[in-house]
Amino acid sequence: MSLHLGDKVPNFKASTTEGDIDFYEYLGDSWGVLFSHPADYTPVCTTELGRTALLKEEFAKRNVKVLAVSVDPLDKHKGWVKDINETQNCQVDFPIIADENREVATLYDMIHPNASATATVRSLYVIGPDKTLKLTITYPASTGRNFNEVLRVIDSLQLTANHSVATPANWERGEDVIVVPSISTEDAIKRFPKGVREVKPYLRYTPVPEGDAKK
């Protein structure tokens, strides 16, 4: 199955290191990050899961629930978690899905045959509270993901979902944003009381709307 931005993501039930879950029920009204790993006891994955655990408060601050998926069995996951906690100085307490039959991997198109016939690539999906796909990033198995970038794009997605703005290149939370082209400059001035800076008629900046500035 090929997923595109804006598609409703498929639901599934699975066994995880935190017990059995129904994906939709687990997410509830939260945002979600679902990310895949080629295999257990692999060095890059160990650092990725550790980094995710260390960012627990940052994900919680954004109302984001995370789940990892690997095509290895549950008992292997549990042993691996002990290694992750030891080597990365963390506490992994989010679900790692045991996907032995590759059901989730197939649903979310995580196996790319030209890269590997059996192992998942490093796919990451950001899912909104409406259960639609907001963003996907795919890395090869050899390259670890940048989770600061994951948080950055979540900040952008949440901001732009609530306001008629877009975020420029290299944008970071709290920086000025771009007024979307569908709003006239006249209307933008009324809508954004902090001010509108026009560089070109199609390129207008405004401070982050009230309530979304960096704390």
Instruction: Identify which of 127, 120, 166, 167 has the alpha carbon closest to the alpha carbon of residue 145.
Output: 120
Looking at 9, 14, 34, 45, which residue is catalytic?
45
Our CA angle for 164, 165, 171, nearest 5°, is 160
Sheet-wide strand order for 13-16: 19-22, 13-16, 96-98, 64-70, 31-37, 122-127, 133-139
Helical (H) or strand (E) element with 133: strand 133-139
Sign of torsion, CA 170 4 110 107? Answer: positive
Is residue 45 part of the annotated active site? The answer reads yes
Could you say which DSSP state residue 132 is in? B
Q: Catalytic site residues? A: 45
